Structure 1
Amino acid sequence: MREFGYQRASDVAGAVALLGADPDARFLGGGTNLVDLMKSGAERPARLIDIRELPLDQIETTPEGGLRVGATVTNGDLAAHPEIRRRYPALAQAVLAGASGQLRNMATVGGNLLQRTRCGYFTDVTKPCNKRVPGSGCPAIEGEHHNHAILGASDRCVAVHPSDMAVALTAFDAVVAYETADGPGEVSLAEFYLPVGGTPHLETALPPGALITGVTLPPSPVAARSRYRKVRERASYAFAIGSIAAALDVRDGAVHDVRLAFGAVASRPWRARTAERVLTGAPAGPETFAAAADAELAAAKPLPHNGYKVTLLRNLVVAVLSELAEETAR
């Protein structure tokens, strides 16, 4: 591991100033992703700026009736918060599915959003990787790729985004707030993650030197009837091979409102807007749910060993929406 400096920030402006003075520094929250990558040599910051003591650890109601989650709220506290569980249950379920209790009690909301999109070739510094060394190549395309992208990938990178939490936040139109030396700003989570394109090493739309200060969930009545379903290769915590965050409102047998986002299928959480358009106003039944999934997955371009994800996601859409529709009918 490269030797690094360490500083503890006491306020938001001070944290931003410290990073501005040292572009090779990184903010440190829980460290559950960054420190692992430092150990492997995939990340080599010259300095860590500890932000855990910043006053960003609250979950508060917004004037509009949504919720604002501070960037240093732990994943454990987020999943346990009564208003999150009541108003956005799929978000609580996604966080609980994402890691062990020990990791949830360390990992922060801001850090979860900023964890690297990665695969085994990224973390193995003996192998080429366009995310780690732009232009060096993507060996996953011809190599091990059974859990890689089927949507929105490019010939430069086929890794999938690892966050469960971000999938649910994407479904609920969350907005990320940040602070820079020039003042505050915000970006919707739908625009937060950049398309992989030809620059897979550039992952987010955050301005240089920005510090995430929180995430706002807008008021969303449909989110109260929502579910997160994750499929993984072992029962203990592991990255998804496919996941879905879904919310459904059925009235008089037809879909009145719906939210859908997929995980483990692209370099970023995948908002299934095509499927949402097919569903809205249509009969709430398995045939419609399957047709919506097929419409969304028509753009899939699986590699030789991950085509199973198309069937997996189709089945997830039908199963989860059918369960939500049955609950609505009770």
Structure 2
Amino acid sequence: MSREINIFVSYSHRDDDWHERLIAFLDSLKFTRLKAQDLKSGNLYQNARFHYRAWSDKQIDLGSNWKPEIEDAIRQARVAVLLVSTDFLASEFILEQELPLLIDRSNSGELAIFPLIIRPCLWRETAWLQEIQIFDAGQAMSELPKHEWEKKLVEFSLRIDEQLESERSGQELVDEEPESIEEIFTSSAVDQPVYKAPLQEKNASGNEFHTWNGVRKLIDESGFCETGEYVVDGVLLFRTVKQRTWLAVTQRQLFCVLDGEKTRKRGRLIQWHESLSQNLPVRARDRANAQTGLLNVGTHVNWLYSKRLHKSPGELEEQVTKLLENA
């Protein structure tokens, strides 16, 4: 049975046309993992494996008590999409009833906010929006021809898919048995990429992982880097007998590599990458009675870090911030 993860959509009713366009793209996400044999099974939703449900106030029945329904939808959501326009920014309902709850959950690391500028507006002058990463540098969708904004909505939808997929591909909030801590890498890459052996290693349980040099080589040869761009520094966030999570920076981008059995089988160790030209706020927080904490970088939230590697959230925030600044 597939698992639902809600996407909360906040918008002005005057932008209903853009709301409908976005919903169509988000609805299509739930079926992207269907294989050919699944199409004739009669159980599309069961075979979809990961069922996204986009929610907006259109799903509130006439005469219902709307406030608790909205609050409940926000509490369930893992992602919030903001369709930003002049009418959105002028809506007292959105400002008073939706955004405070969304921002509180975002600040606690429980939800990622994805603003999409759909019409030209005063978003650059809006103080609360300056703390949130804006998609595509704030390009208004309405200024683009249809074939261009359709491409942008594809990219936007895939970013949401990436965010939610990261939560199920080894990022469940569980504490596995930690490995003993040892020196993982001793120096960063300089001037040019030189990969010293070994590039992979096995732990005592027989699980194979990339070394730091292996992570560098993986990213440098991934096809995501431009000519002359290569990894210059990194940090190991999480280390257990089953999984390792790395952050690594090139001169232009930040990469997240999740090295584990699941991601190796899928051939997708690189979970995401972001341009360093964008604002990437860093926030780490503790988890009571757990061996792990949670790290947010930009719109990527709830990435596990090991307390055995990073003693306090503040120290990790400072380390990752310096990593981004010194790239």
Do Structure 1 and Structure 2 share a fold, with TM-score over 0.5? no
* TM-score when normalising by structure 2: 0.30
Give the number of the structure whose alpha-carbon radius of gyration is greater. Answer: 2
Structure with more relative contact order (C-alpha pairs < 8 Å, separation 6 or more): 1
